[in-house]
A and B are shown apart, each in its own frame.
Chain A
Amino acid sequence: MFDPKQLCITGTKILLLLCLIIWTHSSAHAASFIVIANKSVVESSLTRAELQGIYLGEKVKWGNRKHIKMAVLEDDRTLKEFLQVILGKTPSQFDQHWVRMVTTGKAAMPPTFPDAQQMIDFVAKTPNAIGFVASGQTGDAVKTIAIK
């Protein structure tokens, strides 16, 4: 039986729960990673939503319509923090997302690098590339992307 009062109470509970979830996510602490890009990339800053889109394979083009070449750092601590802060995912959830993408033909697996220097070298040499490393490891070969 449809009960408007019960519907209002349930709706209020769902809204309160959503507010709690949003507050929990928005109170993420300052990150200790830096997003880097090839110097050919026009953008100097990205929103968290844009970074989410890039690392989920949804946003594939820069503003100048060049194809984004995204790379992943395998270093456990930095990877975990990057995925948690930017995507709200664990490494396992991130792996499963990309396994789904690849086995349904939607995208190629992003290249991974075991250490920061290899990541920086890749980003520096690859036009339109983007990656991330721990803070303080960038150098002059790449540009830093601010997170808006």
Chain B
Amino acid sequence: MKKALTTMMLLAFAGSAHAVDLAGVEIHGFASQGYIKTSHDNNFPVSNSGQGSFNFNDFAVNFSKEVNPDLRVGLQLLAMDRGSYGKDKITLDWAFGDYRVTDWLGFRAGKIKIPLGLYNESRDNDAARTFIFLPQNEYYDYERDSVNAITGASIYGSIPAWSAGTVNYQLQVGTTPIPLDGASARNYSAYISTVDAPLTTTEVNSSTAFVHHLEWRTPVGMRTTFSGLHTSFDGTATGIYTDPATSATTPVTAKWKFDSWHRYILGVEYVWNDLTLATEYQRDDYTVTADYQNPALENFTSRQASDGWYASAAYRFTDWFELGGYYTEIYADRHHRNGSTFEDLGVGAPWQTWQKEKVLTLRFDPVRNLILKVEGHLIDGTWNMSEYTDASKRNWYLLATKATVFF
């Protein structure tokens, strides 16, 4: 039934898709239906056991109204399905009031998208980019809930820099709401789970988060961004510990904390005619603590220092065809990129501490407001597969296709 509705929606929008305006309320949205297949055993982000899956879609609709020339209000509802999370549950993606005093000073309050790097704010909208998956070093799907939006307030503005272009800034303060049934909660569970004690997060609390974002847009097609997010998360998780020697089981409750999480991202995008080049470098520092209420498990505190980068290129050959590609790397431990951290601890293979991807995408725009994409990934390593501790292939592939309409 869902597939039929999706198909009908795609066909209905594809003909003549325009914004809807009802009594001054502007309505926009998008709908995406995709298909995804990965190497057997390495299921990311959809759990499909290598069989391929249509549980790969996004739907969004937003409403906005200009209350007066300086004040706007709006909200966006979003539903997504990634097989193991999302499940088309409707969520409030963003909702805020926006008061613009002048070009260089504006205020927003409510649930506001977090401006991390070049593309985080628009990461869910397939129509706004060439690729189906943005580079996972920085736009990791299992981290989306932690970096999607802040509930709080922000100030922002645009400052002319004479012949050097324009500087845009945003400062945000608030908390990052993280749903228990979302991908981030699963990701946190995976961090503190062991082979003998798989745990499920039962509570997540976010500390006050600070976000800063600076964008320098030059007059020659170049955009440079520097962003940071500073926060902490803590919570509880429960599960069952199975003694490997006796197979006896005991319940486990764990208190966990991702403390002093600092993320910095430096990005550069250059647009020249039909060519778009982009590169971003990102580094994370945080401390993971797990306090297991079970004597069989050993508590730990671990300082983490990961980083990653990517370089992408996209070229639009005609009005209806664009070709893009990127190469990305992410490392669990930037001080030991060769994976010796895992090797020394004896907890896994070195290649489980990195992920390197070569990606090629074909994007077609056959009619206005309809986009079709085909994308292939060749991947070395499984660091981003933390949810699936039994991911067994070092070299694997991911194939995705997607049809999107927007209005």
Binding site for B on A (CB under 8 A): 18, 21-22, 24-25, 48-50, 52-53, 56, 58-61, 65-67, 84, 88-90, 92-93, 96, 99-100, 102-109
Contacts and interface: CB of A to CB of B under 8 A. Distances in A.
A48 B127 CA distance: 28
Contacts of B125: 99-100, 103
A104 B94 contact: yes
A25 B220 contact: yes
Contacts, number: 107
A21 B45 CA distance: 40
Interface stretch (B68-76, B82-90, B302-310, B329-337): B68-76
Contacts of A52: 166, 217, 219
B64 A108 contact: yes
Nearest to B95: A105
B158 interface: yes
Given A53-B160, A65-B102, A88 B72 contact: no
B366 interface: no
Contacts of B219: 25, 48-49, 52, 88
Given A49-B165, A104-B113, A105-B94, A96 B74 contact: no
Contacts of B208: none
A58 B316 contact: no
Contacts of B100: 60-61
A96 to B, nearest CB: 5
Contacts of B75: 105
Interface of B: 19, 26, 28, 30, 60, 62, 64, 66, 69-70, 72, 74-76, 94, 96, 98, 100, 102-103, 112-113, 121-122, 124-125, 127-129, 158, 160, 162-163, 165-166, 168, 217, 219-222, 271-274, 276, 316, 319, 322, 365, 406
Contacts of B127: 96, 99
Contact of A21 (B30, B166, B221): B221
A65 to B, nearest CB: 7
Given A92-B319, A96-B129, A103-B125, A109 B62 contact: no
B102 A61 contact: yes
A105 B102 contact: no
Nearest to B168: A58
Given A49-B219, A105-B74, A96 B160 contact: no
